Amino acid sequence: MKKLFSSFVYAFLCILTVLVGSFLLSIVLDGQTLSIVLKTAIYTVCGISLGLSLWLKQDKSFFLLLLTILAYTLIEYFSNHRFDNNYYTLIAYPLMCLLFPINVYLMTRVKQDDLFLHAFIRKVVVIFGQIFLLYIITYLLPSLFGESIFKNFQYNLSNLLNHAFIGSRMLSMPQMGLFSFIVCFGLCLWTFRKKSTFLDTAFIGVFTTSFISFYFIYERNISTIFFLAAVTCVLFSLLQISHRMAFLDELTNIPGRRALTNALRQYERHPYTLSIMDIDFFKRLNDSYGHEVGDQGLRMISARLSQYAKSGHIYRYGGEEFVLLFPYKHLEEVLDEIEETRALISNSDFFLRSRTRCDNETENEKYPYLASIKITLSAGVAEKVGSESSDFVLNMADQALYKAKKTGRNKTVYYKNDKFYELY
């Protein structure tokens, strides 16, 4: 729920940024110029986001953007025909209100395919197939065979799509479209509650802003402003994903080596203490239970480190090595915490489970119990107190770790005043 709340906050901030920017532009620009600037902005942001989706191989964001920009293009057409009391407007617009949220929700349910060609083509066919079907119903068949033949069909379809199920029609949006938005958004939130991703912000933003855009279809510039906010939410989610790919370790979900390098550069003029922790006999664990169980061990260790090391920042250094960084702390201030963290983990039982899911849906029994094991850690500690480089501090901590390994493992060795000391 915390991640879902964060997604709402990020979506709100993206929308608020676009609204404030549009308001400031409206002060200095006339209506026609503002309209041109907003339309240019939406296609520019959408183009950048589409390119970023392709580069990051994010097919969900790509097709979410495609759905959004196609909807905006059609909305622009309807706004130019708002005084035409014809079946094109009475059928196409209600169908869009009905189908757009359904398509967005289905996009949350499909598997991330990394833009594989067959999956890409299948989704393109589905999206453009709906637009082609709408074109056939509203224009092609009547123009080929005469409007009189399809007049009754269009009339009945229009009445169905615009029918007021509850009371009289008081809203500009058809009630069927309103129900579609409410139901699909609710299902979307339920999906995010069970499994959260960085694209949650994009989907929440698109649902919220597109609803407003569809509702105020005939209000000048409102549709454009909120569709601009929609693609901005998607762009923000893509930037989050790119940051995650660059700085977070995919397996353990903690900052990786590049993030550590940036942090050390940030504290290069300040004192800090650094500890490298290594899992003892990790190769034996992989050989005994397989690499999937080894990955479970790495995830469990990273979770325990985050739980026990209260004042330190945790990074995955590589392989089975983790780094604890304590900014502005001298070695004597954190040595007890480092040893306590290492000892707590080494004395804990780790319950490994098979990755084959069983039929029992109880959370603790979703994956069958495999084994209970002990995983011990060795630690090497060094500190920066003067003009030492980060490479020097890392090297000394690594040498201290090597000595801990050579002298029996499951212990902490620290470097101070050009000497190595074993902590008892």
Phi first, then psi: give them for residue 269, nearest 5 degrees.
-105, 15
Going by the DSSP 8-state scheme, the letter that residue 113 receives in this structure is -
Q: Residue 378: helix, strand or coil by DSSP?
A: strand
Query: Is the distance from CB of 225 to CB of 19 less than 8 angstroms?
Result: yes
Q: Which two tokens stand for residue 351?
A: 């319950």
Q: Helices then strands (H, E): number in the chain?
A: 16, 8
- Model confidence over 9-21: pLDDT tens digits? 889 999 999 999 9
Query: What confidence tier does 83 reach under pLDDT thresholds 50, 70, 90?
Result: very low
Find the largest Cα–Cα distance for the chain.
96
Q: Looking at residues 257-276, what average pLDDT do you find?
A: 91
Asked whether residue 145 carries a pLDDT value surpassing 50, the answer given is: yes
Query: Is the distance from CB of 260 to CB of 325 less than 8 angstroms?
Result: yes
Query: Is the distance from CB of 28 to CB of 191 less than 8 angstroms?
Result: no
Measured distance CA(178)–CA(254) in Å, rounded: 41
- Model confidence over 146-177: pLDDT tens digits? 666 666 766 777 777 776 667 655 457 788 88
Q: Residue 315: helix, strand or coil by DSSP?
A: strand
Residue 110, amino acid: V
Nearest to 162 by CA among 222, 116, 93: 93
Q: How far apart are the first and last CA of the chain?
A: 42
Residue 400 or residue 217, greater confidence: 400
Residue with the two structure tokens 């995650």? 244
Measured distance CA(60)–CA(107) in Å, rounded: 6
b/e burial code for range 325-337 (CB count within 10 A of at least 16 → b): bbbebebeebbeb
Q: Which two tokens stand for residue 69?
A: 């920009």
Asked whether residue 417 carries a pLDDT value surpassing 80, the answer given is: yes
Give catalytic residues, as residue numbers: 320
Cβ within 8 Å of residue 61, ≥6 positions away: 49, 53, 199, 202, 234, 237, 238, 241
Least confident span in 109-118, 121-130, 218-227:
109-118
Asked whether residue 379 carries a pLDDT value surpassing 90, the answer given is: yes
257-423 homologous superfamily: Reverse transcriptase/Diguanylate cyclase domain (3.30.70.270)
Measured distance CA(44)–CA(7) in Å, rounded: 24
Residue with the two structure tokens 């399809």? 150
Please state at what angle helix 59-79 crosses helix 117-135, rounded to 10 degrees.
20
Provide the residue ranges of all domains of the chain, joining segments of one domain with +: 2-247, 257-423
Query: Is the distance from CB of 169 to CB of 162 less than 8 angstroms?
Result: yes
Q: Looking at residues 329-351, what average pLDDT do you find?
A: 87
Res 114: pLDDT = 56
Q: Which two tokens stand for residue 232?
A: 């901005």
